[in-house]
Amino acid sequence: MRYAMVIDTLKCVGCSDCVVACQTENNVPHGYCRDWITESVSGSYPNVELELKSERCNHCDNAPCVRCCPTGASHIVEGGVVLVTANECIGCGACIESCPYDARYQHPDGYVDKCTFCHHRLEKGQLPACVSVCPTKCMYFGDLDNPNSEVSQLLKNRKYKTLAPEAGTNPHVFYLI
Amino acid sequence: MTTSRRKFIKISALGLGGLATTSSAFNMFGVNSYLDAAVKENIAKKFVRSATYCEVCFWKCAAWAYTDENDDIKKIIGNEDDTHCNGRLCPRGTGGVGMYSDEDRLKTPLIRTTINGEETYREASWEEALDLIASKFKDIKEKYGPESFALLKHGSPGSHLEHLFKAYGSDTIAEPAYAQCRGPRETGFGLTFGSWIGSPEPTDIRDTKCLVLIGSHIGENMHNSQVQEMSDAIDNGATIITVDPRFSTAASKSKHWLAIKPATDIALLLSWMHVLIEEGLYNKDYVEQYTFGFDQLKEHVKPFTPEWAYGITTIKPEEIRKTAHIMAAAAPSVIVHPGRHVVWYGDDSQRERAIAILNGLLGSWGNRGGFYFKESLKVPKYPHPEYPEPRWGWKDIGKQYPFAEMGITSELVKATLPSEDNEYPIKAWMVAGTNLINTLPEREKTIEAINAVEFLVVIDTMPMEITGYADVVLPECTYLERYDGIRSATNRIPSIAVRVPAVKPKYDSKPAWWISKQIGERIGLGDYFDYNDFEEVIEWQLTKLGTSLDEMKKIGVKNFERTSGPLFLEEGQEYEFYTPSGKIEFYSQQLANKGFDPMPVYTRHPEPPQGFYRLNYGRSPMHTFSRTINNPNLNDLKSENTLWVNPKVARILGLKKNQEVWLKNQDDIVSTFSIKVRVTERVRWDSVYMYHGFGHNNKKLTRAFGKGVSDTELISQTVIDPLMGGTGLRGNFVSILTENPHKTSEI
Ligand code: SF4
Ligand code: SF4
Ligand code: SF4
C-alpha cells in the first residue's frame, strides 16, 4: 500500500474548497491551514498562462521532517502517510525548517501540525476531506502499489510533475499538467 | 487566492512555553491527527446530521449540517442525491459554518434612538420592535395606502416577507438580482426563445463539445453544478472559448481566449453570425424549421465582417473565423453561455439577444450539449385568503421599460426620492437579506432615498452598511437555524429539498417566517398565517407532493421523474416556442413595435479618458458579494481584495506590488479605503480589476471593516437598459492615487 494524491491542474479553479473542508474536518484554527492554493502566472498579455494548484504535505518517502525530529513524534505509518503524534511533539520546529514545501505549521496549542491525508477518514474507508469536496473533482486519491487504481492509471497515461523534485524527498502528491 | 503560505498564517507560532498547559487538549477531538481509532469512532458517532439547503448563494445546494454533542455545527457536506451539488458544496457552502458562528452577528432587535443629541441604537425586545413596525405598517397604509411601503429583498427570507406585503396590499417589491444582475439575459432570451434562462441555467455543459463564455467567469463564480460540469466538459475534451478582456480562470482553461477590448462584445457576436451565415455554416435544418426572420438577419449581418469587427474588438479576423468554425463544427452541441451578471453597458438585453440568436443559428436550444428543456415541480400553495389588489406596484413604477418582468430596484429607489409629480410615492422600506448600499450603483441616490423614507426596517443576519441606516433592525437567524420554504428548482429533473434547523437560533435571532407572521398578526392579517410553526406549512405541502417531512428529514432531497417530455428535441420534432410567432425570433416584431432595434446592433460606448482605467469587477470564488466577507471561515481564505494592474500601467505609474493606493472615479468619488496593487499580466492595460464585495465600512464587521475597496462605491454612472431597466455598471473609470487623499479628514 502506498497512498498518493494526484491533482489535475487543468481542472483546478483555485476555489479553496479543499482548504475550508480541511479546516472544518480537522479543526484547524482560524488563521492556519494544512493545505493552500498557489497561483502562478507566466507570459505576457495576451499570451498568458495560469496554473492553480492545491498544495499540502507531500508525504515524502524520504522525509527530512521525520529524520530531523528529535522525539520521534514525526513518523511514517502504513501507506506512507507522514504523521505527527501531538503529545510526543515538543514543538521544537526543526521539521518546519526542514520541510522544503513549507507544509507544517505550529499549532497554537504548541505542537506541529500538517496534512495527514485525513488518516482518520482513510481508516473508515473515506477519502480525504479535500478530495471529497472538490467541486471540479480534480483531486484523486488512492494506492500507487495497485497498478489498476485511478491514481496509478492517471500517472501512467497523463503528463505530470511533482514539486521540488531536486530536494530528493520523493514526494507523493502529483500534479497532472 | 493565497499565493504565499507564509502570509496566510496570520498568528505567529507559539513557542515551547505553551506546551505544558495545553497538553490536556491533545485528547480532545480533532486536535491532531493521530488519536486512537476507538476514540475517533466514538466522537464521530455523536455527530447528528440535519437536512438543509445552502443559503450562502442562490444556487441552493442541498446539504447535511453536522452537529456535535454540544449542539455546535462542525461541518456542512453536500447531499449526494442533489443535482445542484452532487454531494460537493462549493467553498462558500463548506464555509457556511462561519455564517452561524460569526460572533459579529446581529443579536437582538435594535431601535434607533437619540441619546444626548447623538443617534444610536438601543437593544429592544422583539415585542417592542414588532409593535413599532406594526404601527408603521398601519400608519403608512392610512396616510398613503399600503403600496407606499416597499419590500427590497434577496434570497429565502424574501419570500416570507413577500407574502406579508402582498397580504398587506403592497406589490411594491423588487430585488437587485434582477435589474442589477441577470435581468437582461431573461429579456434577451425571452424575446428570442420565449423562455427565461432562470436558475440554475439549463445549459448542458457536461455533454457539450464547445462552450463559449462571453465575460462569464465560471470557476470564479462558483455556481456549483455549473462549475462541476465545466470540469466534466474539460475531461470530455470539449473546446472552451472565452471572450474576456481579463485572463479569467475560465480563460486559462480555454483553447481559445479572445482578449476582447471591453464594451465591444456585440460587434464580435454580429461578426460570428456573419461568418456562420455567409459561409453557410449555420444549422440549416434547424433554422428552417424553428426560426423566424432568418432573411432579415442575413441582410442585417452582411456588413459585419470579421475585418469590420477587428477594428472594434481588436480580435484578429482569422481568430474570429476560426472560432466560428469550431462552434459550427460542434453544433448543435455548443453553448454560447448567457452569463449571469450581465448588466454592463446598458445595451445588455440586446447583447443577450445577440447571444440567443447565435445559439439559434447553431441550433443549440433543445439539443444535447446545448440547452435542455428544464423542468420543476410546482409546490402547492398553502391555503390563505386572496391577496388584495394593490392600486399600483412594481410594474407601474417600471412602466417606462416595456420588457421588465420584475421589480426594478433602482426605479423603486427613484420613486422614493421626494418629488412633486411622483405618481407612485414610496414612503417606507423593508430591506431583507440584501445590503443595498453595496448592491446598488449611484450610492448617493440610495442614501438620498433612505433619508427620504419615513421608516426603514432592515432584516439581516449580519450588521451590514444598510443596517446602519435602519430605524429598526431585526436579527434574522441563519439558514442553519430555521425551517424555510421547500426548494423546488428548475433542472434536468424536478427535485425538492428541505431546510430543517440543525440547531436552535443563536442569540435572540428569529426566522423570517416568524417575523412575517408576527407582523401580520399585529396588523390584522392573522388569517394569512394560519399555522403555529412553518414546519406545519411544509409538512402540508410535502404530503401533497407525496412525501412527508419525516421522509424528507432523512433524505434531504427527493428527485422526481420528468413529466413535460424529453430533455431535448427529437429529430424533426414539431415544437412551438412561447413567442408571438411560435418560433425562435431572430427578428423581433415585439421590439420593433415598441420602437427598439428588432435585431441587435453594435453601438460604441465611452472609453476611459486620459489617466483613467475602466473599472471592472467580478467574483472571488470564496465569497458571495459583500455578505460573506466577515464569515470567519471565508475571511480566512480571502480577507481583502487587490487592484489588478497590468505591468505596463504599473511601470508608467511607478506602482509596486502590494503598494497601497486609493481610487478616484470620473465623478471625483474617492474610495473610502485603500487597496493593494497586484501587478499581473492577467488584465488589460486599459482597465483595472477587483473582486466585488470588499471595502466594508461598518465597524461592527470586525474582520471585514476597512479591508480593500468597494467597487460599488465607485460606480456612480449607469447606463439604463431601455428594454427592461437594467443598470449598466461597467462604464465607470478610475484613476489611481498613490497619496492618501483622506489624510486630513477622518474616515
Ligand atoms: S477544491 Fe479542487 S478546484 Fe478548488 S482549489 Fe481545491 S483542488 Fe482546486
Ligand atoms: S512535505 Fe514536508 S512535512 Fe510533508 S513529508 Fe515531505 S518534508 Fe515532511
Ligand atoms: S453554490 Fe456554493 S454557496 Fe451556492 S448554494 Fe451551492 S454550496 Fe452554497
pLDDT above 90: residue B39: no
Query: Sheet containing B210-214: which strands, arranged edge to edge?
Result: B256-258, B239-243, B210-214, B334-337
DSSP A15-70: --HHHHHHHHHTTPPTT--SSEEEEEEEEETTEEEEEEEEE-----SS-HHHHT-S
**Residue B372 distance to chain A (closest CA, Å):** 22
| Contact indicator for A173, A56 with CB cutoff of 8 Å | yes
Closest ligand 1 atom to A52 CA: 8
| Contact indicator for A52, A37 with CB cutoff of 8 Å | yes
Q: Is the CB of A33 under 6 A from ligand 1?
A: no
| Contact indicator for B236, B367 with CB cutoff of 8 Å | no
Counting runs of H as helices and runs of E as strands, what totals does chain B give? 27, 27
Chain-chain contact of A84 with B34 (C-beta, under 8 angstroms) = yes
Chain-chain contact of A23 with B89 (C-beta, under 8 angstroms) = no
Q: Is the CB of A91 under 6 A from ligand 1?
A: no
The pLDDT value given to residue B269: 98
Chain-chain contact of A50 with B6 (C-beta, under 8 angstroms) = no
User: What does the pLDDT look like over B54-106, one tens digit per residue?
Assistant: 999 999 999 999 999 999 999 999 999 999 999 999 999 999 999 999 999 99
User: pLDDT over 70 for what percent of chain B?
Assistant: 93
Q: Which residues contact B559 (CB under 8 A, 6 or more apart)?
A: B81, B83, B493, B494, B495
Q: Which of A123, A138, A119, A152 is nearest to A4 (CA)?
A: A152
Nearest CA in chain B to A117: B33
**CB contact, 8 Å: B43 with chain A?**
no
Cell of residue B443, nine digits: 450610492
Q: What value, to the nearest 5°, has the Cα angle with vertex B528 and ends B522 and B530?
A: 95
Of B41, B224, B637, the CB nearest to A20: B637
Q: Which of B33, B227, B236, B644 has the most A C-beta neighbours within 10 Å, making it the best mutation to test the interface with A? A: B33
Q: Is the CB of A82 under 6 A from ligand 2?
A: yes
Q: Is the CB of A14 under 6 A from ligand 1?
A: yes
Question: Across residues B672-692, what is the average pLDDT?
Answer: 97
Cell of residue B662, nine digits: 486609493
Tell the burial category of B375 from Cβ atoms under 10 Å away from its Cβ (0-12, 13-18, 19+): buried
| Contact indicator for B370, B335 with CB cutoff of 8 Å | yes
pLDDT above 90: residue B41: no
Cell of residue B418, nine digits: 421626494
Q: Which listed ligand is nearest to A140 at the C-alpha? A: 1
| Contact indicator for B734, B714 with CB cutoff of 8 Å | yes
| Contact indicator for B437, B466 with CB cutoff of 8 Å | yes
Angle between the N-to-C axes of helices B265-278 and B306-313, in degrees from 0 to 180, rounded to the nearest 10:
170
User: What does the pLDDT look like over B153-191, one tens digit per residue?
Assistant: 998 899 999 999 999 999 999 999 999 999 999 999 999
Confidence of residue B45 (pLDDT cuts 50, 70, 90): low
pLDDT above 70: residue B482: yes
Q: Which of A6, A9, A22, A24 has the most B C-beta neighbours within 10 Å, making it the best mutation to test the interface with B? A: A24
Q: Please give the mean pLDDT across all residues of chain B.
A: 92
Question: Across residues A52-77, what is the average pLDDT?
Answer: 96
pLDDT above 50: residue B42: no
* Sequence letter at residue B633: N
Q: Which residues contact A28 (CB under 8 A, 6 or more apart)?
A: A22, A34, A113
The pLDDT value given to residue B490: 87
| HEC secondary structure over B209-249 | CEEEEECCCECCECCHHHHHHHHHHHHCCCEEEEECCCCCH
CB atoms within 10 A of CB B241: 25
Question: Across residues A11-39, what is the average pLDDT?
Answer: 96
DSSP state of B640: S
Closest ligand 3 atom to B224 CA: 1
Name the phi and psi angles at B339, rounded to 5. 75, -175
Chain-chain contact of A109 with B91 (C-beta, under 8 angstroms) = no
User: What does the pLDDT look like over B227-258, one tens digit per residue?
Assistant: 999 999 999 999 999 999 999 999 999 999 99
CA distance B76 to B51: 10
Span between the terminal Cα atoms of chain A, in Å = 25
The pLDDT value given to residue B354: 98
Q: Is the CB of A10 under 6 A from ligand 1?
A: no
Residue whose Cα lies nearest atom 6 of ligand 3: it is B61
Confidence of residue B489 (pLDDT cuts 50, 70, 90): confident
Q: Please give the mean pLDDT across all residues of chain A.
A: 96
- Residue carrying C-alpha cell 398565517: B529
CA distance B78 to B61: 7
Q: Is the CB of A77 under 6 A from ligand 1?
A: no
The pLDDT value given to residue B44: 52
Q: Is the CB of A20 under 6 A from ligand 1?
A: no
| Contact indicator for B96, B76 with CB cutoff of 8 Å | yes
Strands B613-618 and B687-691: parallel
Chain-chain contact of A111 with B32 (C-beta, under 8 angstroms) = yes
Positive or negative, the CA dihedral B501, A130, B369, B279 is positive
**CB contact, 8 Å: A133 with chain B?**
yes
Q: Which of B622, B621, B626 is nearest to B710 (CA)?
A: B626
* Secondary structure class of B313 (helix, strand, coil): helix
User: What does the pLDDT look like over B120-151, one tens digit per residue?
Assistant: 999 999 999 999 999 999 999 999 999 999 99
The pLDDT value given to residue B519: 98
- Parent domain of A134: 3-176
User: What does the pLDDT look like over A131-174, one tens digit per residue?
Assistant: 999 999 999 999 999 999 999 999 999 999 999 999 999 999 99
pLDDT above 60: residue B23: no
**In sequence order, which ranges of B440-533 are alpha helices (DSSP H)?**
443-452, 512-522
Long-range contacts from B311-319, C-beta under 8 angstroms, 24+ separation: B312/B261, B312/B264, B312/B267, B312/B602, B313/B258, B313/B260, B313/B261, B313/B264, B313/B265, B313/B267, B313/B268, B314/B259, B314/B260, B314/B261, B314/B264, B315/B258, B315/B259, B315/B260, B315/B268, B319/B256, B319/B258
CA distance B457 to B110: 10
Question: Across residues B190-217, what is the average pLDDT?
Answer: 96
Closest ligand 3 atom to B60 CA: 5
pLDDT above 70: residue B716: yes
CA distance B426 to B390: 14
CA distance B231 to A49: 18
**Residue A142 distance to chain B (closest CA, Å):** 19
| Residue-range domains of chain B with CATH | 5-101 (2.20.25.90), 180-374 (3.40.228.10), 613-737 (2.40.40.20)
Residues 75 through 94 of chain B touching chain A, CB cutoff 8 Å:
75-78, 88-91, 94
pLDDT above 60: residue B370: yes
Strands B557-559 and B495-497: antiparallel
pLDDT above 90: residue A65: yes
**CB contact, 8 Å: A134 with chain B?**
yes
Strands B48-53 and B62-67: antiparallel
Question: Across residues B479-483, what is the average pLDDT?
Answer: 97
Confidence of residue A44 (pLDDT cuts 50, 70, 90): very high
Q: Which of B615, B625, B632 is nearest to B733 (CA)?
A: B615
pLDDT above 90: residue B745: no
Residue whose Cα lies nearest atom 5 of ligand 1: it is A14
Q: Which of B736, B613, B746 is nearest to B675 (CA)?
A: B736
**List of chain A residues whose C-beta atoms are within 8 Å of the C-beta of residue B78:** 133
pLDDT above 80: residue A8: yes
pLDDT above 80: residue B346: yes
DSSP B50-71: EEEE--SSTT--EEEEEE-TTS
**Residue A62 distance to chain B (closest CA, Å):** 21
CA distance B458 to B466: 7
The pLDDT value given to residue B746: 52
The pLDDT value given to residue B118: 85
The pLDDT value given to residue B116: 84
Q: Which listed ligand is nearest to A60 at the C-alpha? A: 2
Residue whose Cα lies nearest atom 6 of ligand 2: it is A60
Confidence of residue B20 (pLDDT cuts 50, 70, 90): very low
Cell of residue B383, nine digits: 391555503
**In sequence order, which ranges of B236-347 are alpha helices (DSSP H)?**
249-252, 265-278, 284-290, 294-301, 306-313, 317-330
Residues 185 through 224 of chain B touching chain A, CB cutoff 8 Å:
219-220, 222, 224
**CB contact, 8 Å: B228 with chain A?**
yes
pLDDT above 90: residue B341: yes
**Residue B3 distance to chain A (closest CA, Å):** 5
> Where residue A56 sits, what CATH number does that domain have?
3.30.70.20
CA dihedral B202→B232→A162→B639, nearest 10 degrees, is 10
The pLDDT value given to residue B115: 86
Query: How many angstroms separate the alpha carbon of residue A6 from the centre of ligand 1?
Result: 12
Q: What was the ipTM of the complex prediction?
A: 0.95
pLDDT above 50: residue B30: no
Confidence of residue A94 (pLDDT cuts 50, 70, 90): very high
Closest ligand 3 atom to B85 CA: 6
Residue whose Cα lies nearest atom 4 of ligand 2: it is A57
**List of chain B residues whose C-beta atoms are within 8 Å of the C-beta of residue A107:** 14, 31-32
* Sequence letter at residue B346: G
Confidence of residue B743 (pLDDT cuts 50, 70, 90): confident
Question: Across residues B274-297, what is the average pLDDT?
Answer: 98
Tell the burial category of B702 from Cβ atoms under 10 Å away from its Cβ (0-12, 13-18, 19+): middle
DSSP state of B689: E
Long-range contacts from B44-49, C-beta under 8 angstroms, 24+ separation: B44/A124, B47/B74
pLDDT above 50: residue B14: no
Chain-chain contact of B1 with A37 (C-beta, under 8 angstroms) = yes
**List of chain A residues whose C-beta atoms are within 8 Å of the C-beta of residue B41:** 124
Nearest CA in chain B to A24: B75
Count how many domains chain A has: 1
Helix, strand, coil shares, percent, chain B, to 5: 35, 20, 50
Ligand 1, from A5, A8, A10, A13: best to mutate by most atoms within 8 Å of Cβ? A13
| Contact indicator for B172, B147 with CB cutoff of 8 Å | yes
CA distance B193 to B575: 11
Confidence of residue B700 (pLDDT cuts 50, 70, 90): very high
* Sequence letter at residue B391: R
Q: Is the CB of A139 under 6 A from ligand 1?
A: yes
Q: pTM of the full predicted structure?
A: 0.93
Q: Is the CB of A138 under 6 A from ligand 1?
A: yes
User: What does the pLDDT look like over B571-585, one tens digit per residue?
Assistant: 999 999 999 999 999
Chain-chain contact of A11 with B227 (C-beta, under 8 angstroms) = no
Residue whose Cα lies nearest atom 4 of ligand 1: it is A15
The kind and range of the H/E element at B97 are helix B97-101
The pLDDT value given to residue B117: 84
CA distance B429 to B436: 11
**CB contact, 8 Å: A125 with chain B?**
no
Residue whose Cα lies nearest atom 2 of ligand 2: it is A99
Cα A99 to Cα A86, A168, B290, distances in angstroms:
18, 11, 63
* Sequence letter at residue B29: F
Chain-chain contact of A13 with B247 (C-beta, under 8 angstroms) = no
**List of chain B residues whose C-beta atoms are within 8 Å of the C-beta of residue A41:** 247, 680-682
